[in-house]
Amino acid sequence: MSTITLPELSLVVLVGPSGAGKSSFARRHFAPTEVLSSDFCRALVSDDENDQSATADAFDVLFHIAGKRLAAGRLTVVDATSVRPEDRKRLVGLAREYHVLPVAIVLDIPEKVCQQRNAERADRQFGPHVVRQQCQMLHRSMRGLSREGFRHVTVLRSVEEVDRACIVRQRLWNDRRDDSGPFDIIGDVHGCRDELLSLLEILGYRVSGSREAPQVVPPTGRRALFLGDLVDRGPDSPGVLRLVMHMVAEGSALCVPGNHDVKLMRRLQGKQVKLSHGLAETMDQMAKEPAEFADEVARFIDSLISHYVLDGGALVVAHAGLKQSLQGRTSAAVRAFALYGETSGETDEYGLPVRYDWAADYRGRAIVVYGHTPVPDAEWINGTICIDTGCVFGGRLTALRYPERELVSVPATREYYPPQRPLVAAVPPASTRDGFVFDIDDVLGKRVIKPRIGHSVTLREENACAAFEVMSRFAIDPRWLVYLPPTMSPPATSEEGDWLERPEEAFAYFRKDGVTRLVCQQKHMGSRAIVVVCRNEAVARQRFGIVGEGQGVIYTRTGRRFLAADDEAVMLDRLQRAIERAGLWDALNTQWLLLD
């Protein structure tokens, strides 16, 4: 039996002349929905799968469907002859466009067999010269398949080999969707071993042993997950490496590489690398370690995967973050984004790369936790969070506990390395950036909301338009609207008299829907108010991006302002002073509160 191992997400190209058995092979090994046949696409556009004049339109259909499948992360099989390099080039380009691996399975069946099979088919009377030419073109170009860009190439040279073939699908290395943690995700360490030890202790990890031979006992069921940039700039990069390498080897940690780690690896491998941004200090520290340690470090960094998709696809970790279209994919572009982010090719006034703000446009289902760009405070933006809080620059070393989403950090002992760009000049909160506008596409059109509890909720386009009209005209600044309260579901309206509800009808209504137990309480008439109150106006500006509207807001359950401006200011001031006297700011470790 010949085993063919395929990546679970790949573009599989079946290569071979007419009559080689590609369609039969595809039916035997792949689901019907996974296979795109050029013959079938010809039939779709012309009602005749042998109509060669429809070939161009047929392949337009094939490439369109293949693109949709690959964009959705579905393995796709192309059943066409693909014996010419120019035909395969377009397929390799499609795989690269969607960052999946192109795979070639070649059915190099003897020409005699192909001719015989075509002769037996009434719909394949196009002459033996066609099959002969296809076989010749295949043999002329078959050796160059790897150079064309195919990452996996399998050649089956006989009918027996084709019949004995077995397909095995292999999970991509970045696919850890079956691993739900829980995790303690740790930002850029940059050689700050003392701070890392302090943070691990707070997180519940017991570290013992020596610097050279550390021992770590994690909290029951938890693991650390390092976001890379373990080295450079800090006082003990080798010590950090020893600790993290031990934890990964023992299964108490995962790690993705950072750009500084990869640069160190290339230097240790003897490649020409500029000794800048702290690498010179790391190499001086490495010179004091045993010679074999450098080889261990190089192998360790080389083994790291660019990013991970975890917890059923709900969590993505990468050193510099990752756009939705790149998550769970494999290409040089994916690795480059995970290591360096997306840059414009320009530099700022500090000589550092100008980075595109991918997080501002992120709308993915997974939360993305990353580091790379130091920020004064970790902040959630569209389901993404950067937890590199500049420890080596005198800031803090931060961890995000997942799935709790709790931030834990320790202050740096001192500033180990002067930042090239001041930490205060980091990217401000999304809602306060110059030119920030809301995207209307986020709210208009038909939407399907999948809550954590219960069934999906469909928002029809006309309802979204009506709500958008009301909110645009009457609601407060939407940046305040972090919460709208749930509404109690009432029973059916009474059919007797002018009453909205009657007890016996309400009981019958709930009983009909299978509710056997009710809690009744006296109804207190009044209007529901939602209060957002900040410790001061600076917090309102920093957290909500609101300037000149005081230290909070009071609004109705539909998002409208509850009180006149003067009354609201008095009420918020009383609330703020009461919270201050009660010590709630410190007790809850927060700078703002929302009261329902």
d(CA 152, CA 3) in angstroms, rounded, equals: 13
Tell me the mean pLDDT in the region 112-116. Answer: 92
d(CA 167, CA 339) in angstroms, rounded, equals: 33
The confidence score (pLDDT) of residue 64 equals 97
Do the domains at 2-170 and 175-427 have one common CATH topology? Answer: no
Q: Which two tokens stand for residue 57?
A: 């339109």
Question: Is the distance from CB of 548 to CB of 575 less than 8 angstroms?
Answer: no
d(CA 556, CA 529) in angstroms, rounded, equals: 5
Question: Helical H runs in 123-229?
Answer: 128-141, 145-148, 159-164, 193-203
Choose among 514, 511, 551: nearest CA to 531. Answer: 551
The confidence score (pLDDT) of residue 425 equals 39
d(CA 307, CA 372) in angstroms, rounded, equals: 13
Choose among 52, 190, 75: nearest CA to 125. Answer: 52
Q: Could you read off the pLDDT of 44-100 as tens digits, one per residue?
A: 999 988 888 889 999 999 999 999 999 999 999 999 999 999 999 999 999 999 999
Q: With residue 5 as reference, give the H or E element that holds it.
A: strand 2-7
Residues ≥6 apart with Cβ < 8 Å to 67 = 94, 97, 98
- CATH fold of 175-427: Purple Acid Phosphatase; chain A, domain 2 (3.60.21)
Residues ≥6 apart with Cβ < 8 Å to 535 = 551, 576, 585, 591, 592
d(CA 9, CA 148) in angstroms, rounded, equals: 19
Is domain 2-170 annotated with CATH 3.40.50.300? yes
The residue ranges of every structural domain in the chain are: 2-170, 175-427, 433-474, 530-595
The answer, yes or no, to whether residue 345 has pLDDT greater than 80, is no
Q: Which two tokens stand for residue 568?
A: 């609201």
Beta strands of 367-500 (E only): which ranges?
A: 367-370, 380-381, 384-386, 396-402, 406-411, 447-449, 457-459
The confidence score (pLDDT) of residue 450 equals 83
The confidence score (pLDDT) of residue 125 equals 66
The answer, yes or no, to whether residue 415 has pLDDT greater than 70, is yes
Q: What is the pTM of this model?
A: 0.83
Q: What does each C-alpha distance from 352 to 281, 345, 349, 359, 383 come to in angstroms?
A: 20, 10, 8, 19, 26
Q: Could you read off the pLDDT of 180-232 as tens digits, one per residue?
A: 999 999 999 999 999 999 999 999 999 999 999 999 999 999 999 999 999 99
* 3-class SS of residue 447: strand
Q: Could you read off the pLDDT of 445-501 as tens digits, one per residue?
A: 898 888 878 889 999 999 989 888 888 899 999 889 999 888 777 788 888 877 788
Q: Could you read off the pLDDT of 528-574 as tens digits, one per residue?
A: 899 999 999 999 988 888 888 899 999 998 899 999 999 999 999 99
Q: Which two tokens stand for residue 447?
A: 């939407």
CA angle 123, 128, 131 (to 5 degrees): 85
Q: pLDDT over 90 for what percent of the chain?
A: 72
Q: In which band, very low, low, confident or very high, does the pLDDT at 25 lie, cut at 50, 70 and 90?
A: very high
The confidence score (pLDDT) of residue 52 equals 85
Burial label for 31, CB within 10 Å (0-12, 13-18, 19+), is exposed
